[in-house]
Amino acid sequence: EKLDVPVSVDVVYLNKKAAALLGKDFRQNAPIVKEFLEGHSLEDSKKLQEEVNAAGSKTVTIDSKEFILKKEHCVFEHRVDTRHYNNYTPHVIEPSFGIDRLFTAVLEHSYYARPQDPDDKEKIVRGVLSLSPAVAPYKAIIMPLDQRIATKAKYQSMVEELRVQFASYGLGYKVDDSCASIGKRYARNDELGIPLGITFDFDSVGQNDAGSQELAGSVTLRERDSCTQVRLPYSEVVDVIAKFVSLQWSWQDIQSRYVEQKQSASDKIGEGGKAPSAQVEQDYARKHRITEIVNEAISATLSLKPEDPIAHIAKLLAEKSSK
């Protein structure tokens, strides 16, 4: 910090012979003894020097250690310096229980592995990072059923339209058009915590000879935790995803509005009550107004600023619970 007006200060320091003797007599403790001695003011250093000279020695305690100072150790000199700046030594308190550990604990709590399917020839380890849709970095993954779809001009133009819509909503997404099987791509994106998957098949691009042309322009939307799917027009899918990740709609709401897409994954690797579901937790929290009630208690406490805020919050929550 630069001073507006320079100041003159007396600087006390040991002479060279005394400083050298500290190293010989106190060895590894010499630096702390030197810092102690040179930390005295000009007046205090003169007083200390007189006391040691009169008694021949003096015992001092520094950092819970006792040291015997001799008169040869207490030979001070001083000079007058002009100071233009005040220097500060910054320091940071870094507790061992940092935010990185808390964040890791949250991720660990959200991660699980689906039971292995004995008929699965690929033996994929189906890990799932069951993040809430509201906090998942990527909200959706766009995938063609296979490379035959990925090369279709219709697919590419539809994906470009989805890109524009995702950008308009400010939602993160990924495109996975790799050569891996659809099952492997589902599995690896479940492990990334992506809550929804958009899949384009031959019906989507209107080239399924055995299927109905009514399905042209539609896609399947797969939910990560349950592995269930619905079919809906691709022009509506981003709007539906926006409502889902903002917690306006639950997955059950979406299932009630659109036709379910039957597929074996729902029966074989779906949740089936065996793994934790972010959706179940969200529905429970919404039903009991947990977030709303807790936020009200916190806001009231911040307004009143009681001496014990935690006790005040607990009291407000207890009052709500008793009603």
The per-residue pLDDT for range 77-92, each reduced to its tens digit, is 888 888 888 887 777 7
* 198, 220 Cβ separation under 8 angstroms: yes
pLDDT tier, 265 (very low <50, low <70, confident <90, very high otherwise): very low
Q: Report the pLDDT value the prediction gives residue 126, as an integer from 0 to 100.
A: 83
pLDDT tier, 69 (very low <50, low <70, confident <90, very high otherwise): confident
What tokens were used for 94?
């870094």
Q: Report the pLDDT value the prediction gives residue 280, as an integer from 0 to 100.
A: 61
Per-residue pLDDT tens digits for 113-123: 888 777 766 66
Phi, psi for residue 199 in degrees, rounded to 5: -120, 130
Question: Using N-to-C axis directions, what is the helix angle for 309-322 and 290-304, rounded to 10°?
Answer: 140
The residue whose two tokens read 């590419």 is 156
140 three-state secondary structure: strand
Q: Report the pLDDT value the prediction gives residue 303, as an integer from 0 to 100.
A: 87
Q: Which residues contact 68 (CB under 8 A, 6 or more apart)?
A: 57, 58, 59
Q: What is the C-alpha separation between 147 and 178, in angstroms, rounded? A: 8
Answer with the residue of higher pLDDT: 276 or 34.
34
The answer to whether residue 268 scores a pLDDT higher than 90 is: no
Q: In the chain, pLDDT over 70 holds for what percent of residues?
A: 88
Mean pLDDT score, 61-86: 85
Report domain extents, the chain. Answer: 2-85, 104-276, 290-322
Q: What is the C-alpha separation between 150 and 156, in angstroms, rounded? A: 7
Q: Which of 157, 145, 240, 223 is nearest to 184 (CA)?
A: 145
Per-residue pLDDT tens digits for 273-292: 333 445 566 667 777 778 77
* 123, 116 Cβ separation under 8 angstroms: yes
Phi, psi for residue 155 in degrees, rounded to 5: -60, -50
Fold exhibited by the domain 2-85: 3.30.720
Phi, psi for residue 196 in degrees, rounded to 5: -135, 145
Per-residue pLDDT tens digits for 156-212: 999 999 999 999 999 999 999 888 888 889 989 999 999 999 999 888 888 766 555
Per-residue pLDDT tens digits for 37-62: 888 888 888 888 888 888 888 888 88
The residue whose two tokens read 């009169």 is 54
* 237, 221 Cβ separation under 8 angstroms: yes
CA angle 209, 197, 163 (to 5 degrees): 90
Mean pLDDT score, 262-281: 50
Give whole-number Cα distances, 161 to 29, 164, 200, 239, 296, in Å.
Answer: 72, 5, 13, 13, 41
Rounding to the nearest 10 degrees, give the CA dihedral for residues 292, 295, 300, 301.
Answer: 150
Q: Report the pLDDT value the prediction gives residue 210, as an integer from 0 to 100.
A: 58
Q: Report the pLDDT value the prediction gives residue 212, as an integer from 0 to 100.
A: 57
Instruction: Determine if the pTM surpasses 0.75.
Output: no
Ranges of H-type helices in the chain: 16-26, 30-38, 42-55, 99-110, 147-150, 153-169, 182-191, 234-245, 251-257, 265-268, 278-287, 290-304, 309-322
CATH number for the domain formed by residue range(s) 104-276: 3.40.50.800
- Range of lowest pLDDT (12-16, 38-42, 136-140, 276-280): 276-280
